[in-house]
Amino acid sequence: MTGTRGTLYGVGLGPGDAELMSVKADRLIRQARHVAYFRKAGNAGRARATVAPMLAGDVQEFPMEYPVTTEIPLSDPRYNELLSAFYEDCAAHIRTLVEAGEDVIVPCEGDPFFYGSFMHLFTRLKDLIPVEVVPAITGMSAAWTASGAPITWGDDVLSVVMGTLDREQMVAAMQAADALVVMKVGRNLPKVRAALEASGKSDRAVVVQYASLPDQSVTPLSEIDGDSLPYFSIILVHGQGRRP
């Protein structure tokens, strides 16, 4: 608590394996009286499923259901309008709880400050209420660990590239980097594959699915069929830089 107010905690859960969660994250979640978590409508949500065994029986839950995910394209003006209103509503509810003296825990897949939804709460509330962020292992770290090889050597330049970029942007980023992490692949797989081929890196690309989870798999991109990948998929290109 800070004075008569509580604190909003953005708690990183890591890649999904509860044993990879920090001691601090574990403690905060087990002590939580109020837990707010993001999820797709009609879906329990990965964050909620990860912390389920740790929650107290009397915990108060606030599911934050996205009004839109992939139903309309990112370029549609309604996309940002709907999400902005959604985050404003969620932030208002959480602010009310914190100003009433309650701590609110928001469990976040991966790290809260790495492409996570919690950032949208943080920017809206950081100057209004106490906010604390608990960092975590990222999904990409779990992915390159699962691959069984270092992602970078020596002076390798590592780039994180989004599959939502247009092909030309991806190719430029891929050509400029020695090692790559490609995220948000999903239905962008054909575009990502084409960009990797154009950049000359497709032969070294591997697909890691469900890193650190029981159904984890590591497969060369050349052996992947189809035009899409599951949500928890990352493509890696390992660096080959300087080493002793």
Q: What fold, for 140-237? A: 3.30.950
- Residue 176, classed as helix, strand or coil, is helix
Q: Judging by DSSP bridges, how do beta strands 34-40 and 60-66 pair with one another? A: parallel
- Return d(Cα 176, Cα 184) in angstroms, integer: 20
32-76 pLDDT, tens per residue? 999 999 998 888 888 999 999 999 999 999 999 998 766 666 667
Nearest alpha carbon to residue 60 among 36, 96, 41, 40: 36
| Strands (E) located in the chain | 8-12, 34-40, 60-66, 104-108, 131-134, 158-162, 179-183, 205-209, 217-220, 233-237
Residue 72's pLDDT is 64
Residue positions counted in the chain = 244
| Stated pTM of the model | 0.90
Task: Provide the residue ranges of all domains of the chain, joining segments of one domain with +.
Answer: 8-137, 140-237
**Contact 218/147 with Cβ under 8 angstroms?**
yes
**Contact 39/66 with Cβ under 8 angstroms?**
yes
- Return d(Cα 209, Cα 194) in angstroms, integer: 20
The CA R_g of the chain, rounded to the nearest whole Å, is: 19
What percent of the chain stands above pLDDT 90?
A: 87
- Return d(Cα 43, Cα 53) in angstroms, integer: 18
- Return d(Cα 48, Cα 106) in angstroms, integer: 10
Residue 2's pLDDT is 44
Residue 4's pLDDT is 85
- Return d(Cα 2, Cα 58) in angstroms, integer: 23
Tell which wins on pLDDT, 196 or 3: 196
Residue 43's pLDDT is 85
CATH of domain 8-137: 3.40.1010.10
92-145 pLDDT, tens per residue? 999 999 999 999 999 999 999 999 999 999 999 999 999 999 999 999 999 999
